Amino acid sequence: MKPTPDSNETVCVPRDIVLQAAMIRLGSVDEELEAGYNVIRKYHKTVTVFGSARVSEGSRYYEAARLVGEKLAEHNYAVITGGGHGIMEAANRGAFESKGDSIGFNIALPHEQTLNKYTTASLSFSHFSPRKIAMTLYADAYVYFPGGFGTMDEMMEILTLIQTGKTSKAPIILYGSDFWHPLDQMIRQTLLEEERLISPGDELLYTITDDVNEVIKLVRANKTYCDH
């Protein structure tokens, strides 16, 4: 139900019409997913970096993400981000300034999401679902810097996919112990020990670090995919 233009009354919209409208909007999902795949398949090694668009240049997380992007490029990894600013810009920038491959999978949002200028390839999505799949499609590693709901959503999905064996195991690296420690404590104490909602070993699916060199070491240790 929604308000009419000239009153506070509501108008009831049949659910079938709402569903049909939703299906029309989703009509381009397959096309977007295929387009994302066609971008990723050009690169032999990829690492996806996540984090907040609200982190400013000069902050410790921005500069760390920039250094991660730089070092990944030096080791011939294509850096994939959501294409926005903040952490995404920093990781793309590091790769870009090192003359590496820097990919931005952007999505139009009402306020904060515009493509940063440090990408060598980019693709704009209208839907979150194909963008998420493209960003996480068999990456060699996933690096998470501090972020909000979107970053948490991406992290939990990858944890779930690896936990359940629905995708190949790859390093999940959480940068910033001050930020990630409370979540780690909740996972270990509440989910594992007290409520037993996860299995022993699930708390080891990710690594928390404050060391950029350790990030690169963990990425390079993964030999799941062939290094062409």
Q: What is the pTM of this model?
A: 0.88
- Tens digit of pLDDT for each residue in 189-225? 999 999 999 999 999 999 999 999 999 999 999 987 6
Number of separate domains in the chain: 1
Q: Which residues of the chain have pLDDT under 50?
A: 1-2, 228
Quick check: is 118 in a domain? yes
Quick check: is 54 in a domain? yes
pLDDT score recorded for residue 33? 87
Quick check: is 9 in a domain? no
Quick check: is 24 in a domain? no
Please report, for the domain that includes residue 84, its CATH number: 3.40.50.450
The whole-angstrom separation of Cα 30 and Cα 97 is 33
123 phi and psi angles, rounded to 5 deg: -150, 135
DSSP string, 66-121: HHHHHHHHHTTPEEEE-S-STHHHHHHHHHHHTT--EEEEEE--SSS----S--SE
Quick check: is 228 in a domain? no
**What integer best gives the mean pLDDT of the chain?**
90
Quick check: is 13 in a domain? no
Please list, in sequence order, all residues whose beta carbon lies within 8 angstroms of the beta carbon of residue 7, skipping any fewer than 6 positions away. none
CB neighbours of residue 160 within 10 Å: 13
Nearest to 178 by CA among 156, 207, 146: 146
Both structure tokens of 52? 């907040």
Quick check: is 193 in a domain? yes
- Residue span of the structural domain in which 196 resides: 29-221
pLDDT score recorded for residue 126? 85
pLDDT score recorded for residue 100? 98
Quick check: is 147 in a domain? yes
